[in-house]
């Protein structure tokens, strides 16, 4: 009898480990070290199962034998996650974000409700709303804030949403790069420049010589087309820790002269490094973000 036949028919050989078994080794090690196998909660769940039920949407349903409900929650969560990422910054993404929180909270409510089934409806309703609030404030809101501060952030720029990569070094921002940045705005003497966010090319970096004429703007003597409200006679050197970025913003002139508008725009165009938010992705899941 060959070895393959022995493996299939003999009880001497133990079952072979699955290919994914090594992924669970750290969990099993932690369980042994912390003696979690000695802790059992109502419903026959171990401490590890209880923790996973709180952390993973739908896991509680699988652990308590409601696999169909668990599959539905997982499917809803995955679908909402896909919509949230692809429609980041839009209303559809916000709705999907709420559905993710709701699916997670539903899973936790199912876990807790398994032990509180005899409670009154009012208490169950309060439990559901409280769980939803806790999941949002203690889990999803901090995670979303962390992601937006360090990795990815959607910005509304005029009439569109632009998804920006936050993980850049300011020193890497070069002349000609597209950047997302904060526009400080300006007002006074019948003039108002609206503050907000912009996505523009960097015209010049620290140390560059900028010269305006009636025909073009020259950066280190290289010509570029004039943009609206640019001066026709001026020159300067970009200071340290600054970038020169000509903004596309709404201008309310009132009685202000064109010279005042130009001076205010030139002041706003001198962008400190700390106002640069990141670099926009050229495409975001099939959506073109840059010209």
Tell whether the torsion through CA atoms of 221, 227, 232 and 237 is positive or negative: negative
- pLDDT surpassing 60 at residue 92: yes
Lowest mean pLDDT among 24-33, 35-44, 176-185, 265-274: 35-44
Nearest to 230 by CA among 240, 245, 209: 245
- Please name the residue ranges forming H helices in 114-254: 121-135, 141-150
Per the model's pLDDT, the better-predicted residue between 140 and 31 turns out to be 140
Q: Region 147-174: what's the mean pLDDT?
A: 92
Helix, strand, or coil here: 5? helix
pLDDT of residue 5: 47
For residue 30, pLDDT over 70 is answered with no
More confident residue, 160 or 1: 160
Pairing label, strands 251-252, 191-193: antiparallel
The residue among 189, 182, 193 whose CA lies nearest residue 156 is 182
Give the three-class secondary structure for 195.
coil
Task: Return the CATH number of the domain spanning residue range 154-288.
Answer: 2.10.109.10
| Angstrom distance (rounded) from CA 166 to CA 272 | 16
pLDDT mean across residues, the chain? 86
In three-state secondary structure terms, 272 is: strand
- For 101-124, how does the pLDDT look when each residue is reduced to its tens digit (9 = 90+)? 999 999 999 998 877 777 787 888
Q: Over 80: is that where the pLDDT of 95 sits?
A: yes
Closest to 281 in 3D by CA, of 164, 173, 149: 164
| Residue 90, φ and ψ in degrees, nearest 5 | -100, 170
Cα-Cα-Cα-Cα torsion 144, 146, 152, 156, nearest 10 degrees, comes to 60
Over 236-250, what HEC string results?
EECCCCEEECCCCCC
| Domain map (residue ranges) of the chain | 3-150, 154-288
Question: Token match 């809101």: residue?
Answer: 141
Percentage of the residues of the chain whose pLDDT score is greater than 90: 59
- The residue-averaged pLDDT of 179-190 equals 81
Residue 9 banded pLDDT, cuts 50, 70, 90: very low
Q: Record the pTM.
A: 0.79
Block residue for tokens 């668990």: 70
Is 122 buried (19+), middle (13-18) or exposed (0-12) by CB count in 10 A?
Answer: exposed
Indicate the SS3 state at residue 154.
strand
58-91 confidence digits (pLDDT tens): 999 999 989 999 999 999 999 999 999 999 999 9
Question: Which of these ranges, 87-96, 107-116, 134-143, 215-224, has the smallest mean pLDDT?
Answer: 107-116
pLDDT band at 36 (very low <50, low <70, confident <90, very high): low
Which two tokens mark 150?
A: 């360090």
What does the block give as tokens for 198?
């912009």
Length of the chain: 291
Judge whether 244 and 203 are in contact, CB under 8 Å: yes
Count of C-beta atoms within a 10 Å radius of residue 150: 10
Helix 91-113 vs helix 67-86: angle between axes, to the nearest 10 degrees? Answer: 160
Residue indicated by tokens 């960097």:
202
């Amino acid at each position: 009898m060959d070895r393959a036949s022995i493996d299939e028919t003999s009880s001497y050989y133990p079952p072979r480990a699955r290919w994914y078994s090594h992924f669970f080794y750290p969990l099993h090690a932690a369980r042994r070290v912390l003696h979690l196998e000695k802790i059992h909660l109502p419903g026959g769940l171990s401490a590890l199962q209880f923790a996973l039920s709180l952390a993973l949407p739908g896991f509680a349903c699988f652990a308590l034998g409601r696999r169909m409900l668990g599959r539905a929650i997982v499917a809803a969560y995955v679908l909402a996650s896909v919509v949230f990422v692809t429609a980041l910054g839009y209303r559809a993404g916000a709705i999907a974000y709420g559905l993710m929180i709701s699916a997670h909270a539903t899973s936790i409510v199912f876990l807790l409700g398994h032990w509180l089934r005899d409670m009154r409806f009012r208490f169950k309703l309060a439990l559901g709303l409280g769980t939803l609030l806790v999941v949002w404030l203690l889990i999803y809101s901090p995670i979303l804030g962390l992601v937006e501060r360090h990795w990815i952030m959607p910005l509304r720029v005029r009439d569109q949403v632009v998804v920006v990569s936050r993980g850049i070094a300011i020193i890497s921002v070069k002349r000609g790069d597209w950047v997302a940045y904060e526009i400080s705005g300006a007002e006074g003497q019948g003039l108002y420049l609206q503050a907000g966010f912009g996505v523009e090319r960097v015209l010049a970096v620290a140390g560059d010589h900028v010269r305006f004429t009636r025909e073009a703007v020259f950066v280190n003597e290289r010509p570029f087309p004039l943009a609206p409200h640019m001066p026709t006679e001026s020159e300067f050197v970009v200071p340290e820790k600054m970038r020169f970025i000509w903004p596309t913003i709404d201008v309310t002139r009132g009685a202000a002269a064109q010279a005042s508008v130009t001076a205010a725009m030139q002041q706003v165009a001198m962008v400190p490094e700390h106002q640069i938010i990141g670099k926009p992705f050229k495409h975001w899941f099939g959506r073109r973000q840059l010209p």
